[in-house]
Structure 1
Amino acid sequence: MNFPDIRIIDAHIHQWDPFTTPREFSAIARAMRVLPLPESAAVRLGRRRDREFVGDPAAFLRPYLPADYRADAAGVPVDTVAHIEVQWAAEDPVAEADETGWVARLPFDREGPELGAIVASADPAEPRFAALLDAHLAASPLVCGIRTMVAHHPDSGVRSFTKVENALTTKEFLAGFGELAERGLSFDAWVYSPALPDVAALAERFPEVPIVLDHLGTPAGIFGRVGRHTGDNPAHRREVFLRWRDDLAALAAHPNVVAKVSGLAMPILGHPIPPRAIPTPVGTLLDRVAPMVHHAMDVFGTNRLLWGSNFPIDKPVTSIANSLRTIATALTDHGANPTDLRHVFHDTAHHTYRITTPV
């Protein structure tokens, strides 16, 4: 499928260098760099929940920088990207702003695509949250919002990113969240699907804050078993889908929420992992994700959907080209016209993330 008239915005990518910047996965990347062990050893040595989340650890064991993204996006007319924070490790919470400065200095604009927005790391529950927001804003004018690692799953075998259940509802989190409205910043909510009602409650309490639901709520196990028991049979996978469907519809009732059609090839959804460098065929991926995309289109409308590749997290399962083709085909099969596609692949991200590149 061609997009000759759309300046595509990839609204969800990650950049890192575990050797020169502090990441939560830097230690293992550095160890694998000096030890005479194959990458497969990282799989065997890692915990099962980590293995199931990443699918293939290769991307985490080396830098992923603009040149790597350009290679992965070859042939795809991506004009602009939005960088989303990724596991910057800092003892001083305010030092998380160093990631913003680092990303802003990356050589995106030399050969394209252009860096149009930065979603920075910050936790409203932290006492120095306001100071961190100001440090991010001082580090780059591209900062448009924040993301907090609040993804927690009730199945202990699924990789959680916080020990705090219902992190979006704690009094500390809610007390700090209003700082976003004062600075005109958005909030990217990445949660597992059981927490979608918490996102809806947050949206209702703070209608003045734009909220971006990442990865359509990441219903872990919807395509296959992960963790101890999630998605372990067709009936359970159907249950995951139905609860996700109803909770997503309830969330869409809040006009300050948009949904990111991204991360639908994350291994944690239960996808089989194909051989490296052989992406899942579009038809196969379409059979799995089309019901999710169709429902998201029904409840949000295309003017409240935006696309992101989630690279390199989705790379073990798909390619950027196949991701784009899959989502575009699912939308078109459900009645999307060229204007609808422009919303999903450009306009919603351009508005939500306050991107200043030409329309």
Structure 2
Amino acid sequence: MSSDVNTMPTTGHGRPLPVDAAWLALGAEQAIDPGVPIVDAHHHLWQRPGWRYLLDEITADLDSGHNVVATVFIQCRSMYRTEGPEALRAVGETEFAAGCARASGGRVCAGIVSHADLLMGEAVQEVLDAHAEAGAGRLRGVRHSTAWDADPEVVNPELGTRPGVMQDARFLAGFARLAPLGLSYDAWVYHPQMGEVAALARRFPDTRIVLNHIGGPIGIGHYAGERERTFADWRRNIAALAACDNVVVKFGGLGMRLGGAGYHLRPAPPSSAALAQDWRPWFDATLDAFGAQRCMFESNFPVDKASCGYATLWNAFKRLAGQASAAERAALFAGTAIDTYRLELPL
């Protein structure tokens, strides 16, 4: 890789990789089927040491050739308030995302998913109310990341997670506050935890749960070299989770270091055709289990930007969906996200 890198500390394999703009340029592609309306169901905005991905950066990606009509912002522990009650500091991120929505004319951050510590139990109500006010009508859900594994090579230490959070009585009491407010829950877990998500979905059938990154299949640490076993375990879990009608799934996140593909180590970025070939088994199994009406594509940028460019990523998704019906493609690229996050878009 070249030295033209947006850098940040990368100790711990679960953390995001740096982005190398010069390396990405080696794999630049023109958009396939550029007229297809797209809602990017999952992206972040952040300012971190040596790594900026804010409105200018995402706008440049959105304008790289595809017809991205709207995006959904997902919390990422950035732009927090620097003073005031600790529990309310995350509201600063919602304020920032709402500002980006206004500045972009509503295209970026059309929906906002914010962080609230559900382990606060019923006391989280104050935080949820503050997010709703800060979101100016765009708050759609909450994400309390619970991704955890016993292997320290896997876990992102910045998340501060521990095992069993989704069974904790305090978490469940906080989770119960979501449905009365019409809020969904974005679940960020690793694939061995998907059974816990299913248990949560059965316990709260009136709460929409959105599985991030198809459940986070792991390919690093002690899971490295175990792709066939991981896929078999994940496929059983994804089928079981699909039995819960209140769960929808985001297809994406397979460009993360977590998956073990090592795209960032190649001399040049993978092509969209290569990505589609790699991701085909995961996509087919996800689509078979959930159906297009409960499945949506996500960029997971800037995290997945360490593996490919924005135009290439969506080209890969279009290749994956190439044999789907027109109705299925409409759902995958926009419809499911619009329904899940209750977006008002003139499509």
Name the TM-score, length of structure 1 as normaliser.
0.81
Separation in 2, partners of 1:84, 1:186? 12
Q: Choose the corresponding residue for 1:2, options 5, 9, 33.
A: 33
Q: Which residue of 2 aligns with 1:22?
A: none
Q: Does residue 273 of the first structure (1) align with residue 248 of the second (2)?
A: no
> Aligned pair in 2 of structure 1 residues 112, 122: CA closer, same or farther (>3 Å)?
closer
Q: Choose the corresponding residue for 1:118, options 99, 106, 112.
A: 112
Q: Which residue of 2 aligns with 1:340?
A: 328
Deviates more, 1:109-118 or 1:95-104: 109-118
Q: For residue 357 of structure 1, what is the amino acid of its counterpart?
A: L
Query: For 1:72-87, what aligned pairs fall within 5 Å after superposition?
Result: 72-73=61-62, 74-87=64-77
Q: Which residue of 2 aligns with 1:130?
A: 125
Q: For residue 355 of structure 1, what is the amino acid of its counterpart?
A: L
Q: Which residue of 2 aligns with 1:53?
A: none
Q: Choose the corresponding residue for 1:319, options 309, 334, 344.
A: 309
Q: Choose the corresponding residue for 2:55, options 55, 62, 66.
A: 66
Q: Which residue of 2 aligns with 1:97?
A: 91
Separation in 2, partners of 1:2, 1:109? 28
Q: Which residue of 1 aligns with 2:43?
A: 13
**Offset of 1:153 from its aligned partner?**
1.5
Tell whether the 8 Å contact from 1:14 to 1:83 is kept in structure 2 after alignment.
Answer: yes
Tell whether the 8 Å contact from 1:151 to 1:162 is kept in structure 2 after alignment.
Answer: no
Q: Does residue 151 of the first structure (1) align with residue 138 of the second (2)?
A: no
Q: For residue 58 of structure 2, what is the amino acid of its counterpart?
A: Y
Q: Which residue of 1 aligns with 2:298?
A: 308
Q: Does residue 355 of the first structure (1) align with residue 346 of the second (2)?
A: no
Separation in 2, partners of 1:108, 1:62? 23
Query: For 1:205-244, what aligned pairs fall within 5 Å after superposition?
Result: 205-221=203-219, 226-227=220-221, 229-231=222-224, 233=225, 236-244=226-234
Q: Choose the corresponding residue for 2:184, options 159, 183, 186.
A: 186
Separation in 1, partners of 2:346, 2:101? 20
Name the TM-score, length of structure 2 as normaliser.
0.84
Q: For residue 97 of structure 1, what is the amino acid of its counterpart?
A: V
CA deviation profile, 1:280-302 (whole Å, cap 9, x unmatched): 21122122111000000000001
Separation in 1, partners of 2:73, 2:279? 24
Tell whether the 8 Å contact from 1:116 to 1:357 is kept in structure 2 after alignment.
Answer: no
Q: For residue 124 of structure 2, what is the amino acid of its counterpart?
A: F
Q: What value does the CA root-mean-square deviation take over the aligned residues?
A: 1.9
Q: Which residue of 2 aligns with 1:45?
A: none
Percent identity among equivalent residues? 34
Q: For residue 16 of structure 1, what is the amino acid of its counterpart?
A: W
Task: Give structure 1 stretches of 5+ with no counterpart.
Answer: 19-28, 30-60
- What's the secondary structure of 2:178's corresponding residue? helix
> Aligned pair in 2 of structure 1 residues 277, 148: CA closer, same or farther (>3 Å)?
farther
CA deviation profile, 1:289-317 (whole Å, cap 9, x unmatched): 11000000000001110111011000111
**Offset of 1:275 from its aligned partner?**
6.4
Separation in 1, partners of 2:275, 2:191? 20
> Aligned pair in 2 of structure 1 residues 276, 352: CA closer, same or farther (>3 Å)?
same
Q: Which residue of 2 aligns with 1:44?
A: none
Tell whether the 8 Å contact from 2:101 to 2:107 is kept in structure 1 after alignment.
Answer: no
- What's the secondary structure of 2:71's corresponding residue? strand
Tell whether the 8 Å contact from 1:215 to 1:260 is kept in structure 2 after alignment.
Answer: yes
**Offset of 1:146 from its aligned partner?**
0.5
> Aligned pair in 2 of structure 1 residues 12, 163: CA closer, same or farther (>3 Å)?
closer
Task: Give structure 2 stretches of 5+ with no counterpart.
Answer: 1-31
> Aligned pair in 2 of structure 1 residues 358, 109: CA closer, same or farther (>3 Å)?
farther
> Aligned pair in 2 of structure 1 residues 107, 248: CA closer, same or farther (>3 Å)?
closer
> Aligned pair in 2 of structure 1 residues 212, 289: CA closer, same or farther (>3 Å)?
same
Tell whether the 8 Å contact from 1:189 to 1:212 is kept in structure 2 after alignment.
Answer: yes
Q: Does residue 250 of the first structure (1) align with residue 229 of the second (2)?
A: no
Tell whether the 8 Å contact from 1:81 to 1:113 is kept in structure 2 after alignment.
Answer: yes
Tell whether the 8 Å contact from 2:34 to 2:66 is kept in structure 1 after alignment.
Answer: no
Deviates more, 1:340-349 or 1:114-123: 114-123
